[in-house]
Amino acid sequence: MAQKPSIPKGTRDFGPEEMNRRNYIFDQIRDVFRLFAFRPIETPALENLSTLLGKYGEEGDRLLFKILNSGDFLEKTTEHSDYKKMTTQISEKGLRYDLTVPFARYVVQHQNEITFPFKRYQMQPVWRADRPQKGRYREFYQCDADVIGSKSLLNEAELVKMIDEVFQRLNIRVIVKINNRKILAGIAEYIGAPDKIIDITVAIDKLDKIGLEKVNAELFEKGIEAASIERLQPVLQMQGSSEEKMNFLKNLLASSETGLKGIEEIQTLWNYIASYTLKAEVELDLTLARGLNYYTGAIFEVKALDAQIGSISGGGRYDDLTGIFGLPNMSGVGISFGADRIYDVMEELKLFPEASLAATRVLFVNFGDKETAYCLPIIENLRKQNMAVEMYPDSAKLQKQFSYANARQIPFVAIAGEREMNEGKIVLKNMQSGEEKLIAKDQIQENLH
Amino acid sequence: MAQKPSIPKGTRDFGPEEMNRRNYIFDQIRDVFRLFAFRPIETPALENLSTLLGKYGEEGDRLLFKILNSGDFLEKTTEHSDYKKMTTQISEKGLRYDLTVPFARYVVQHQNEITFPFKRYQMQPVWRADRPQKGRYREFYQCDADVIGSKSLLNEAELVKMIDEVFQRLNIRVIVKINNRKILAGIAEYIGAPDKIIDITVAIDKLDKIGLEKVNAELFEKGIEAASIERLQPVLQMQGSSEEKMNFLKNLLASSETGLKGIEEIQTLWNYIASYTLKAEVELDLTLARGLNYYTGAIFEVKALDAQIGSISGGGRYDDLTGIFGLPNMSGVGISFGADRIYDVMEELKLFPEASLAATRVLFVNFGDKETAYCLPIIENLRKQNMAVEMYPDSAKLQKQFSYANARQIPFVAIAGEREMNEGKIVLKNMQSGEEKLIAKDQIQENLH
């Protein structure tokens, strides 16, 4: 009996049109990575669970796809009632959850082969057993670029320029929001609540939406003392450009070593960025709370100006990316492009180029073996000129062959019958205008416009 | 305590050099697929086990990587002692084992969106829990191109030309061996042993190695009657070119409808192929036993002439690719390129191009912030000219920066100090010859040769 075929929830098939559009995005990102001298690596989809577990918090551990051991997995199993304990006995491998942990593992494992600083990019799918919902999938691509083994802020600047370059090419207007964890730490220190960085940042983020009064109430609820909240007020009411904010904070945080270090970092980054010609807006944004659990310096987030959607790229610096695998003091900074969201933005703003290089330019009609023998060398020659060309494989009814050309949106159809063959010619039909031209068989290329 | 990092056996990390070489192969294959009007699709790594099980024989079922269900998989489990029965209760999904079954599933699931004949290509990893050994991995890429929904032998011809084109580009001399299951069936029918196709083919294949006498002995052992073996002798002793063999078989199999159909197919294919300019050798080879369990017409196998390695590409026709998923009478024909073996051949024959477009062309030395500000616009401009360029991120000792350039095999180093900056110039050092040139900062590109 035939099964009704389907795919697991949260996964997707990509058809040709979708693939061409996705590849358009991937190709642009890859090309920018290449120009900035990042180098490709790939890691296996399967990692040992010992590599993955404990790296993404408790929820992450739960969301890992785990592979059942091969063969008789029950043979050595002692646990049969607690599924969590049993999992560790019947599963040793899991699917890649992101590209950062495998990269850290890669760097440690191959440290003797790598020339540092190491700039790598990686574009591969990752898997998460998340509850599927609109725009969230269980399999999706990440496109990451990281520099490891250099603390220079020039790396941050290059990443910002790369973001700018990618979105220029894709024709998406963006703002790059930049924060620095050290500034946030300085503020928390300054107001006397050094352990409340995240609460403070999240509260600042709500200022526009709920107003100053409610933000202050929320901070109080989070257990921050009234005196601390009082000291925070100048920060909450801070106005002006990124440069003005930096100057303001420099005075305010004069007593916090960490805070001043953060401001110095931001200023250095700003100076570097000023050397490039950027199309993207760049803004210091103290409300960026993204990845505060692991980033130690710069934090980036990119938003599309013309689409209502979350961040389409982001990243930051980790001071100790590889310590967990036994290689301490390796500072790394990186960014990640969210291909799915970028796709949605480009779809919404109609930014995909109409015709793609990938599409068939001419369909040759099939009238039978003799005509096929006449056409195949012509087809071979057009392909040599880098043109995607095909012949309808069966000598089906003409109507069927033209329907195929229409359905596939092939712009030209080439027809060669007895008479054209005798004269060394071909009829070329423009499928949009309906115009037909009788031309020499070696002059097709010039007429495909 | 730090873990010593490793990856699951049978899997691989690919570093930058390996990636550039692999991408070189993938890019050529993809480009040929595109020129022949094949269109890309991608399917999820995870498929429902109901899609995969029973499609690859008993061994295939065993070699599928199975995903443990999320959450408390024991909750609804009734079986706790037989691991095979338990597997079906605690695992619903598995990793893709090849690209053919997911493609068949895709065609059935999306049949209403597809314009037939459908030419698709797919280049994705597959996973098999095989015993790892030299050249055999648990994760590897397949590069498949198939046409579905057309019985025309022009498809077979186009695939042969594609094979020729791919290996011309990669500079690998190959022979394309072609067989047809219907001819083999005709022979088996003719000698009165219609159910012994595979035994006969395998025996013919051993002719060169073990000689006629032992082949006959082996056929007898397989239960083929003496009279049948007698009738097979003319086939075993057949000599000559592919065309001569076709003519010989045409006479011999005159009473077998299936056999004659097979010969007609091969002749039609040969006629089509004659219309192309092929560099590859093409040969009728009755010993090709590859995929005899599922192919119904043409069978292809490609061997490198200058390397001792198994087949580097192969394929064939299935008359009913999608029947198992409920869509009958969909004939398909396809080929698959084995990226890992092609890589090994190119490595052995030293066919990889020396310098790749992907590699950094110039490293800019970092002397500090002022010099960086001078260099960044120059770097930006070179990247606009499609050149991969980088600046050493830290103002480290000069020796360290030059070591980096050497280790990364970067051919030029650009140096700008106080004096060069004042004059709008740059020193360009050729790392191979040691030659240094003082040039205007906007004339770097012309000097990078």
- Enumerate the residues of chain A whose CB falls inside 8 A of the CB of residue B44: 7-8, 11-13, 139
Amino acid making up residue B85: K
Share of chain A above pLDDT 90, in %: 83
Chain B residues lying within 8 Å of A390, measured CB to CB: 36-37, 119
pLDDT digits 0-9 by tens, A404-436: 999 999 999 999 999 999 999 999 999 999 999
Q: Does A377 touch chain B (CB under 8 A)?
A: yes
Q: Are A359 and B119 in contact (CB under 8 A)?
A: no
**Residue A16 pLDDT class (50, 70, 90 cuts):** very high
Question: Contact A380/B138, CB-based, under 8 Å?
Answer: no
Evaluate whether A180 touches A373 at the Cβ level (below 8 Å).
no
Instruction: Closest CB to B37: pick one of A115, A125, A390.
Output: A390
Give the number of other CB atoms < 10 A from CB of residue A224. Answer: 22
CB contact under 8 A, A14 and B376: no
Q: Which residues contact B352 (CB under 8 A, 6 or more apart)?
A: B21, B24, B346
| Pairwise CA distance, residues A81 & B340, whole Å | 43
Token pair recorded at residue B443: 């004339």
Beta strands in B60-117 (DSSP E): 66-68, 91-95
Chunked mean pLDDT (size 10), chain B, 449 residues:
81 96 96 96 98 92 95 86 90 97 97 96 97 90 97 97 98 97 94 91 85 92 94 91 94 95 97 96 90 89 93 94 92 96 95 79 96 96 94 96 95 96 97 96 91
Of B13, B274, B383, the CB nearest to A110: B13
| Residues of chain B contacting residue A413, judged by C-beta atoms under 8 Å apart | none
- Token pair of A428, please? 């070329």
In this model, does residue A62 exceed pLDDT 90? yes
Q: Does A138 touch chain B (CB under 8 A)?
A: yes
- Cα–Cα nearest to A179, from A269, A95, A250: A269
Higher pLDDT, B201 or A143: A143
Of B38, B59, B54, B53, the closest CA to residue B332 belongs to: B38
On chain A, the residues whose CB falls within 8 A of the CB of B67 are 65-68, 95
Task: Please indicate if any CB of chain A lies within 8 Å of the CB of B124.
Answer: no
Sequence-distant (6+) residues with CB within 8 A of A357 are A388, B34
pLDDT at position A310 is 86
The amino acid sitting at B60 is G
Return the H-helix or E-strand segment holding A273.
helix A257-274
Tokens of residue A224, six digits: 């921050």
Share of chain A above pLDDT 70, in %: 98
CA distances from A87 to A69, A71, A98, A292 (A): 10, 15, 21, 31
Q: Is B326 on the interface with A (CB under 8 A)?
A: yes
What gap in Å lies between CA B106 and CA B7, rounded to an integer?
A: 32
Q: How many DSSP H helices and E strands does chain A contain?
A: 16, 16
Residue of chain A minimizing CA distance to B41: A15
Q: So what's the pLDDT on residue B1?
A: 46
First to last CA, chain A: 50
A106 touches chain B (CB under 8 A): yes
Residue A391 contacts residue A345 (beta carbons within 8 Å)? no
Instruction: Give residue-wise pLDDT tens across range A371-399.
Output: 999 999 999 999 999 999 999 999 999 99
Of the partner residues A19, A40, A74, the one whose CB lies closest to the CB of residue B19: A40
Residue A109 at interface with chain B, using a CB cutoff of 8 Å: yes
- In this prediction, residue A179 carries a pLDDT of 95
With an 8 Å Cβ cutoff, is B74 touching chain A? yes
Report which residue type is found at B269.
L
Specify burial of residue B119 (Cβ count, 10 A radius: 0-12, 13-18, 19+): buried
What is the chain A residue with the closest CA to B93? A8
Taking an 8 Å cut-off on Cβ atoms, the answer to whether B139 and A271 are in contact is no
Q: Is B195 on the interface with A (CB under 8 A)?
A: no
B231–chain A nearest CA distance, Å: 35
Name residues 428-447 of chain B within 8 A of A (Cβ): none
Average the pLDDT over A18-40 and give the result.
96
pLDDT digits (tens, 9 = 90+) for A220-247: 999 999 999 999 999 988 889 999 999 9
The whole-number average pLDDT for the span A7-34 is 96
Q: Does residue A396 sit at the B interface (CB-CB below 8 Å)?
A: no
A353 or A163: which leads in pLDDT: A163
Q: Is the pLDDT of residue A210 over 70?
A: yes
A114 pLDDT above the threshold of 80:
yes
Q: Identify the residue whose tokens are 């390796």.
A: A330
- Residue from A51, A70, A130 whose CB has the most chain B CBs within 10 Å, to mutate: A70
A73 reaches B (C-beta below 8 A):
yes
Q: How many CB pairs under 8 A join A and B?
A: 312
Residues 6+ apart with CB under 8 A from A132: A9, A10, A138
* A173 has a pLDDT exceeding 70: yes
> How does pLDDT run across A343-357, given as a tens digit for each residue?
999 999 999 987 665
**What's the average model confidence in pLDDT over A203-217?**
88
Cβ of residue A6 closer than 8 Å to a chain B Cβ: yes
Is residue A145 within 8 A of residue A35, CB to CB? The reply is no
In DSSP terms, B145 is beta-bridged to B121, B335
Note the pLDDT of residue A1.
46
- The phi-psi region of residue B85 (left if phi > 0; otherwise alpha if psi is between -120 and 50; otherwise beta) is alpha
A369 interaction partners in chain B (CB closer than 8 Å): 268, 271-272
Look at residue A2 and tell me whether its pLDDT is greater than 60. no
> What does the alpha-carbon distance between residue B416 and residue B424 come to, in Å, rounded to a whole number?
9
Distance from CA of A336 to the nearest CA of B (A): 19
Residue B57: predicted pLDDT: 87
